[in-house]
Structure 1
Amino acid sequence: MLPKVFIDGEAGTTGLQIADRLKGRRDLELISIDPDKRKDVDARAAMINKADAVILCLPDDASRLAVSLVTNPNTVVIDASTAHRTSSGWIYGFAEMDKAQRASIAAATRISNPGCYPTGFIALVRPLVVAGIIPADWPVTVNAVSGYSGGGKPMIAEFEERQTEDNFRIYALGQQHKHPPEMKKFTGLSHTPMFTPAVGRYAQGMIVEVPLPLWALPSKAKRKDVHKVLTAAYANERFIKVATLAEADAIKSLDAEGCNDTNRLEIYVFGTDEQARLVARLDNLGKGASGAAVQNLNIALGLDEGAGLVA
């Protein structure tokens, strides 16, 4: 029998994207709830416990409720919300984060899907902290911009229905945002990074950037040392690609939409031996959300990790 997969919250932005990536798959069966019963707790519980894997595409409180409905010990839960990303007993669903992470995901029944900004940030910073190039107590700053789809249905409506004329907007000005806790935890940093997010007038795609004053680091690392560590960390990975220094030097600008509709994450080390600009480019709805959820699903069910995904 094919493994059954249920998307709880399939009508939302992430849910629709996941369903699109799963349609036509012959190695699993996508099951759906009657639209009239999407808010029926008993009906949802029945679907959740019928499934071999359930992907939660819900607000945080609704995700916590959904998890409380699980009575089938074999049901794998992949939560795309923020609710469990730093919770004990949950495995962080970033397969490329560590050499042992895939095995942890494969063995887990509770998997938290990473946030879009943290995916880029962790990809850039964690290997450098592990290698000792960035000290754990370094005051790290991350600047990032995403398409408006990252804000969910309210922000999508705001931009697409011309409720705002903003072309570029910074937000989380009071340093209150849902992503920094996972950024800190999964990079090994001692302090919460300074996070400065922004949104632009385009639907999807994002750039995450970490400025690194190499001259000030105790490690005295050069640009090539940083690049060497990042290249080694993602060698032979299907979805994470590190541009060569020559490729980076040939680039004069970088479009945030360049990885759209893929599960690809691109890493660039721009700059000089004095000042480096570490950049990750990804689709906030791809590797930053639905693509990562499908990748985690594939790993958890023992299927081809790249099934339904574009590298």
Structure 2
Amino acid sequence: MTFSVFIDGAAGTTGLEIRERLEGRSEFALILLDDAQRKSADARRAALNEADFAILCLPDEAAREAVALIDPAGRTRVIDASSAHRVAQGWTYGFPELVGAQTVAEARLVSNPGCYPTGFLGLMAPLVRAGLLPAEWPYTVNAVSGYSGGGKALIERFEAETDLAFRSYGLALGHKHIAEMQQHAGLAHPPVFAPAVIPAFRGMVVEVPLPLAAVTAPAPEALSDCLAAFYEDSRIVRVVGTPRDEIVLRAQEQPHDDLTLQVFGSADGSQARLIAVLDNLGKGASGAAVQSLNLMAGLEETLGLRLPA
């Protein structure tokens, strides 16, 4: 069976990468609009309601408007890559490893996780659920991303201003990812989130530092073992049992759709650094959307994904 797919916002970075992953696959037929049609509400409404699956790669408000164009009694199922519905009622959070593959497979409305929250939640949610980390602790998140995650304006800035080496942002402490992190990790307090951008097109490192003695948490090895057991059946999320000596992001990082988790501990076991490495355009965006699409279409979830051998 062939499913029709309309990518609303296909000209943006996330939309282009989703299209790359779907082109040439016999299971999907893309509904394409030319430049003039993309600006027509009527053409978009028709495409949205004609499709078996609509993938929204739009700013938040535009994503809400697109959902309003879809007949709620129609057949169209939605994957929203914006942050508009990540904590909204009636939407399934598109992180199959956390919410269950079958839950995503049966959903009509799926909200794609954010790139930073994917790393944070991949680390934290299993440990909080298992009771190894307390939900009441005020956690912090330090993270760096390639500049492609900032959209067209930031891409143009980094490629024009060749002397940019580091950009810290979210300094008002109200980043839109925070609610998503808190809700889906089951935390009592919003984490303190310190994001930054570096002069690499893609790639991301997300870190949660832990003073284990103060947190009253078990040894780093126990945290790593918990994560390894939680993801033991996943082909997408990998837990590195013996952490590397360093973590490197390269300016020309290759696209990939996996998520790597590591737990680093001090020699005396009193401190730990939980670190996630991913492609902000892979498992952090387009790869995650394709994973959910595969499940919703009744297919093997890793089809079309770029995963290590």
Q: TM-score, with normalisation over the residues of structure 1?
A: 0.95
Contact 2:92 2:104 in 1 (8 A): yes
Contact 2:201 2:253 in 1 (8 A): no
Q: Which moved more, 1:81-90 or 1:300-309?
A: 300-309
Q: Which amino acid aligns with 2:97?
A: E
Counting only pairs closer than 5 Å after superposition, residues 24-173 of structure 1 correspond to structure 2 as 24-71=24-71, 73-98=74-99, 101-162=100-161, 165-173=163-171
Contact 1:4 1:28 in 2 (8 A): yes
- Say how many residue pairs are matched: 303
- What residue is the counterpart of 2:261 in the other structure? 267
Q: CA deviation at 1:73?
A: 2.6
Q: Which moved more, 1:45-54 or 1:255-264?
A: 255-264
Name the CA shift for 1:260/1:307 in 2 (closer, same or farther; >3 Å). same
After superposition, give the CA deviation of every residue in 1:145-200 in whole Å (9 maximum; x if it has no partner): 000001000000001122x6320111111102110000000000011001000000
- What residue is the counterpart of 2:208 in the other structure? 210
Q: Percent identity?
A: 51
Which consecutive unaligned segments of at least 5 residues does structure 1 have? none
Which consecutive unaligned segments of at least 5 residues does structure 2 have? none
**Aligned equivalents of 2:8 and 2:66: distance in 1?**
8
Counting only pairs closer than 5 Å after superposition, residues 226-305 of structure 1 correspond to structure 2 as 226-244=223-241, 247-248=242-243, 251-257=244-250, 260-272=254-266, 273-305=269-301
**Aligned equivalents of 1:172 and 1:29: distance in 2?**
39
RMSD of aligned C-alpha atoms? 1.3
Contact 1:215 1:275 in 2 (8 A): yes
Q: CA deviation at 1:34?
A: 2.3
Aligned to 1:172, the other structure's residue is in SS state coil
**Aligned equivalents of 1:39 and 1:202: distance in 2?**
32
Contact 1:133 1:217 in 2 (8 A): no
Q: CA deviation at 1:227?
A: 0.8
Contact 2:146 2:201 in 1 (8 A): yes
- Where do 4+ consecutive residues of structure 1 move more than 3 Å? 257-260
**Aligned equivalents of 1:180 and 1:298: distance in 2?**
28
Contact 1:240 1:267 in 2 (8 A): yes
Contact 2:202 2:253 in 1 (8 A): no
Q: CA deviation at 1:302?
A: 0.7
Q: CA deviation at 1:259?
A: 7.1
After superposition, give the CA deviation of every residue in 1:101-153 in whole Å (9 maximum; x if it has no partner): 21111111100000000000000001111111111110101100000001000
Q: TM-score, with normalisation over the residues of structure 2?
A: 0.95
Contact 1:7 1:55 in 2 (8 A): yes
- What residue is the counterpart of 1:174 in the other structure? 172
Contact 1:211 1:276 in 2 (8 A): yes
